[in-house]
């Protein structure tokens, strides 16, 4: 299978200049392509030369999340936030770490921090109104690898019984996390579109 032209060009650039910061872009391309282990290796090699490159640390954290190394991802996102408390991508990554650990109050707090940093913006407020309306109608998001909670103790496709149903407080917290994650995605997407428009 032929290599992606963007990845191939970045690899050649780094081969010509091993100290190039293009490693961060290559690692992100690998991550987007689902090649998480390669993304991790490229990030770590590049960060050995450029330890202060925060966007590469965010990419590393995201790739680590994808391979299930939650503790290492937590360290990367935390390191970024210590240096750049306003880094929305690192805050979102840290929120995802907490969500995967089942630490929903901590996840919600990270999302709230991101929204406070975003500040008032009429366009974002409209996005928030739209998402709030959708959230009121949306079903509870399912937990990965878990059968529906509507029938606790029942068998699903011949597997062992599911765990007891979550409390209403837990269910509400999961709804909140899912909603806040979509909200933050909307904020980041809106900012990107404004940036591209300003460069046009």
pLDDT bracket for residue 166 (50, 70, 90): low
- Condensed to tens digits (0 to 9), the pLDDT of residues 58-78 reads 999 999 999 999 999 999 999
152, 174, 183: which is closest to 103 by C-alpha?
174
Q: Which two tokens stand for residue 171?
A: 């269910």
φ/ψ of residue 189, rounded to 5: -65, -40
Cα-Cα end-to-end distance for the chain:
35
pTM score > 0.85 for this model? Answer: no
State residue 156's pLDDT score.
39
Give per-residue pLDDT as tens, 96-148: 898 888 887 787 777 777 777 766 555 545 545 554 554 455 454 454 444 44
Q: What angle do CA 151, 144, 40 make, to 5 degrees?
A: 170
Name the CATH superfamily housing domain 1-84.
Answer: Tetratricopeptide repeat domain (1.25.40.10)
The single-letter DSSP state of residue 156 is S
- Please give the pLDDT value at position 109: 77
Distances (CA, A) of 90 to 7, 11, 52, 56, 191: 24, 26, 14, 11, 16
């Amino acid at each position: 299978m032929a290599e992606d032209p963007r990845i191939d060009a970045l690899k050649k650039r780094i081969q010509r200049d091993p100290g190039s910061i293009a490693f961060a872009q290559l690692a992100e391309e690998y991550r987007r392509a689902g090649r998480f282990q390669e993304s991790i290796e490229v990030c770590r090699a590049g960060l050995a030369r450029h330890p202060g490159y925060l966007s590469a640390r965010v990419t590393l954290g995201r790739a680590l999340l994808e391979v299930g190394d939650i503790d290492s991802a937590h360290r990367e996102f935390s390191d970024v936030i210590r240096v750049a408390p306003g880094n929305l991508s690192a805050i979102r990554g840290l929120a995802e770490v907490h969500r995967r650990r089942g630490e929903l109050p901590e996840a919600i707090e990270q999302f709230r921090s991101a929204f406070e940093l975003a500040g008032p913006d009429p366009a974002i407020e409209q996005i928030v109104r739209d998402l709030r309306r959708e959230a009121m109608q949306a079903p509870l998001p399912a937990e990965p690898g878990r059968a529906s909670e509507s029938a606790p103790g029942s068998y699903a496709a011949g597997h062992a019984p599911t765990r007891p149903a979550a409390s209403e407080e837990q269910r509400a917290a999961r709804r909140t996390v899912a909603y806040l994650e979509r909200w933050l995605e909307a904020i980041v997407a809106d900012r990107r579109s404004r940036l591209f428009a300003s460069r046009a």
